[in-house]
Amino acid sequence: MLIKTRGIVFKAKKYSETSVIVDVFTEEKGLRSYIVSGVRSQRPTVSAGLLQPMTPVELVAYHREDQDLTRLKEVRPHHVFQAIPFDIRRSSVGLFMVEVGRNTVQGHEPNLDLFEFLLQHFIFLDETKQPISNLHLHFMLHLTEFLGFLPAGDFNHETPYFDMQEGSFVHEKPLHHQWLSEVASAKFYQLLMLPKEHCHEVLFEREERRSFLKNLLIFYRLHIENFPTVHSHEVLEEVLGG
């Protein structure tokens, strides 16, 4: 049968001389893989630009529940990015976010709230006039709500440390090494409490932001089995200056 749904492109790879396989997180059917024919021909039937990572699309696809790989019939843009393609800072942040999404979002079940969360972060990245240096940090923290390990508790004078193993704010420094200092815990909590529109208000020095991101990646590895290495953060740190 044919389905119509919005989607966010996660990844595209060569399939044949003229075709590609594209992984799309769809609104209606979760994460799906599709064959798109004619993309790499002299007269492509689908623009390769529509299959770039993080691109929001509207698609018509052949669908069978018993098959992991089907074909796309039609692909159209859902939102055309105006700034991301021409701004290396925005594109680097977006590619990092889509890599994190690709490494964490799984399954064929629809998740409308998660889809909207991802879509709105990419659109916000494209449209905002505010600084974007903290957006990837905010994204990772709030994505944990959908992944099942949203940090618990509150930062205050009684619980001033964040224990990454336990996933909660605690009273005393843990005996292991996977915890955040009071200063880092305070900023961790600030990012949790602020909407994305205000995440730039949390102030970081260059090395401090770099360390914060590394700790977030450790936090993910502690709570997601076989969480793969994220490579785009190295480019991101270089572009953002930490």
Q: What is the CATH number of the domain that holds 191?
A: 1.20.1440.120
Q: Where is the domain boundary, 25, 42, 77?
A: 77
Q: What is the CATH number of the domain that holds 60?
A: 2.40.50.140
- Total domain count, the chain: 2
**Domain assignment of residue 47, given as a range:** 2-77
Q: Where is the domain boundary, 51, 77, 103?
A: 77
Supply 186's token pair: 């305070």
Please check whether residues 31 and 96 belong to one and the same domain: no
Please check whether residues 57 and 96 belong to one and the same domain: no
What local confidence, expressed as pLDDT, does residue 106 receive? 85
Please state the pTM of the whole predicted model: 0.93
- Tens digit of pLDDT per residue, the chain (242 long)? 898 999 999 999 988 888 889 999 999 999 999 998 877 767 767 787 889 999 999 999 988 887 888 888 889 999 999 999 999 999 999 999 999 999 999 888 899 999 999 999 999 999 999 999 999 999 999 999 999 999 999 999 999 999 999 999 999 999 999 999 999 999 999 999 999 999 999 999 999 999 999 999 999 999 999 998 887 777 777 777 65
Q: Where is the domain boundary, 42, 77, 112?
A: 77
What local confidence, expressed as pLDDT, does residue 241 receive? 65
Please check whether residues 11 and 94 belong to one and the same domain: no
Please check whether residues 53 and 114 belong to one and the same domain: no
